[in-house]
């Protein structure tokens, strides 16, 4: 148990579907992150939310749409994805702006786009 819960663990979707990934943290953190991990590639930061405000968007295509309704919940809305978007999507949380605070990761959602 990491304190960061992601659902679903596995998701298969077609290119025309719309789905959402959910992340919840119970650690009292105020920064939340979405990362993408493709096969044979390092983790790539997608989005950062800090006190519910988006502070980083690393040139992510608009077919990925994040939402952070409060500091404990983070969503990633998906629509019209491509097969190359198949990857492990990881959520993490930490204390905002504190580089002396480690990231806590969930176990990810394994996404397959068919």
Partner 1 sequence: DAKTTQPPSMDCAEGRAANLPCNHSTISGNEYVYWYRQIHSQGPQYIIHGLKNNETNEMASLIITEDRKSSTLILPHATLRDTAVYYCIRHSNYQLIWGAGTKLIIKP
Q: Which residues are near partner 1 by CB under 8 A?
A: 2, 4, 6, 31, 33, 42-45, 48, 55-56, 90, 92, 97, 99-100, 102-108, 110
For residue 80, count CB atoms less than 10 angstroms from its CB and return exposed for 0-12, middle for 13-18, buried for 19 or more: middle
Phi, psi at 42, each rounded to 5° = -70, 165
Q: Are strands 10-13 and 109-113 parallel, antiparallel or unpaired?
A: parallel
**Smallest gap from residue 77 Cβ to partner 1 (A):** 21
User: Is the CB of 80 or the CB of 88 nearer to partner 1?
Assistant: 88
Opening angle at CA 107, ends 85 and 54, nearest 5? 65
User: Is the CB of 63 or the CB of 104 nearer to partner 1?
Assistant: 104
**Smallest gap from residue 53 Cβ to partner 1 (A):** 13
User: Is the CB of 66 or the CB of 108 nearer to partner 1?
Assistant: 108
């Amino acid at each position: 148990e990491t304190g960061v819960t992601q659902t679903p663990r596995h998701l298969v979707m077609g290119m025309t579907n719309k789905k959402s990934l959910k992340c919840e943290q119970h650690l009292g953190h105020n920064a939340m992150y979405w990362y993408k991990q493709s096969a044979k590639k390092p983790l790539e930061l997608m989005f950062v939310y800090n006190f519910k405000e988006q502070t980083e968007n690393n040139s992510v295509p608009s077919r990925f749409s994040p939402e952070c309704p409060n500091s404990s919940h983070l969503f990633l809305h998906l629509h019209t994805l491509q097969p190359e978007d198949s990857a492990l999507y990881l959520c993490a949380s930490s204390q905002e702006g504190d580089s002396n605070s480690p990231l806590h990761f969930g176990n990810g959602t394994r996404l397959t786009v068919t």
